Structure 1
Amino acid sequence: MRKIIVTEFITLDGVVEAPGGDETPHPHGGWQARYRSPEGGKYKMDELKSVDALLLGKNTYSGFSNYWPTQTGNDFADSMNHYPKYVVSATLPNAGWNNSHIIRDMATELAALKNTQGGNILVYGSATLVKSLLQHNLIDELHLMLIPVVVGGGLKLFDDNLQLRNFSLSRSQAFENGVVVLEYQLLP
């Protein structure tokens, strides 16, 4: 069975943000960019190479599909462009980025996708989608790049009304710049 792995940049106070920092009008947007490092880049490359498909929410897909198709000639971009991409959306009319597929019925179609042949599936960002995946108990692993900042507000990944979910720490790694990678597996 394939696993769904969520990867997020997250602050000490639980705020998530894409590397560009421009998806919300937060006064401290862009906090993640100050913590880029060769260690972090290697981790993200290894993480991408450990899967063979992507799962994205509509907004993340829109941003990625405007950027990645124009990027070529390096392993990261080539993987992003080659991998099958599954985008969860009830309203996206079509998915034009190479090898993209729209998922309309998340719970049913993702459960079926997890039972197909292939490697694991990586969810980049997509906070709204991740909240829904948590509610439907469809996440197998969480990879959190914990950035050592408190921004005092912004888009939170974990809502106050979620059911209890237990995870087990499977791996941790501290980078020289203070970023800590925490990998968790969902417990049955």
Structure 2
Amino acid sequence: MVENTDQQRKVIADAVVSMDGYTSTGPEDDMSWAMAHIGSEQSELMYEGIWRGVSTAVVGRVNWEGFTSVWPGLTSDPSSSARTRDLGNWLATVEKVVISTTLQQADLDKTEWTNARVSRDLEAEVRALKAAPGRDILVINSASIIKALLKADLIDELHMTVVPATLGGGVRLLPDGLASTWRLSHATAIPATGAIALCYRRP
């Protein structure tokens, strides 16, 4: 896939949410409420359509620590699907920016993943990434980062997959007090899990 040279790179945010609008139950969330969707073949195919057009991934500390503890095993497991292994290899090697005030570069370098660096200033980092050459930028399921970028008007495309479960509380994906207008690009039903994937773009 060629780099996006004619226009500025898009910032794409992707998250799984419950029917009542939560992306997790909190710091100790085990994601069991969403795993049927995350592991489905239809979900893998849909997500592949996003990440193959991306050359930079942005994550927060919690997701970085969770991803790097789980994904290397999934990637090397011969029982994992081909798409899961492809995604794992992409995650391991793509440029990754970890937004954190506590992690040090040495913490990132201890993991099996490469091509990762720490950034302290989210807005400045994303503005610089948008102005740099490359394919699109993907924020992966990090609610705090997505909220901050929505408030800064730095998200161009918002993917929300609504899973048929209610959590009753936890971390909401969308910030309070923010008024904005979006255009529905497409919606995809996932019959195997009952989830609905929504893609919104700025008008």
User: TM-score scaled to structure 1, two decimals?
Assistant: 0.87
SS in 1 for 2:185: strand
Instruction: Give the one of 114, 121, 127 matched to 2:137.
Output: 121
The structural deviation recorded for 1:173 is: 0.8
1:173 corresponds to: 188
Instruction: Give the one of 36, 47, 52 matched to 1:49.
Output: 52
The structural deviation recorded for 1:157 is: 1.0
SS in 2 for 1:31: coil
Q: Which runs of 5+ in 2 are unaligned?
A: 1-7, 79-84
Does 1:104 pair with 2:120? Answer: yes
User: TM-score scaled to structure 2, two decimals?
Assistant: 0.81
Q: Which whole-Å CA distance do the structure 2 matches of 1:175 and 1:110 have between them? A: 31
| Residue identity opposite 1:174 in structure 2 | A
Q: Which whole-Å CA distance do the structure 1 matches of 2:54 and 2:175 have between them? A: 27
**Counterpart contact for 1:55–1:124, Cα < 8 Å:** yes
1:88 corresponds to: 99
| Residue identity opposite 2:22 in structure 1 | V
The structural deviation recorded for 1:152 is: 1.5
1:65 corresponds to: 68
**Counterpart contact for 2:161–2:197, Cα < 8 Å:** yes
- Cα offsets for 1:34-55 (capped at 9, x unmatched): 3342111211222221212210
- Cα offsets for 1:153-182 (capped at 9, x unmatched): 121112322x21111111111111321110
Does 1:16 pair with 2:20? Answer: no
Q: Which runs of 5+ in 1 are unaligned?
A: none
SS in 2 for 1:52: strand
Structure 1's consecutive aligned runs of 4 or more residues displaced over 4 angstroms after TM superposition are none
Does 1:78 pair with 2:89? Answer: yes
**Counterpart contact for 1:173–1:181, Cα < 8 Å:** yes
RMSD of aligned Cα (Å): 2.0
SS in 1 for 2:34: helix
Identity %: 30
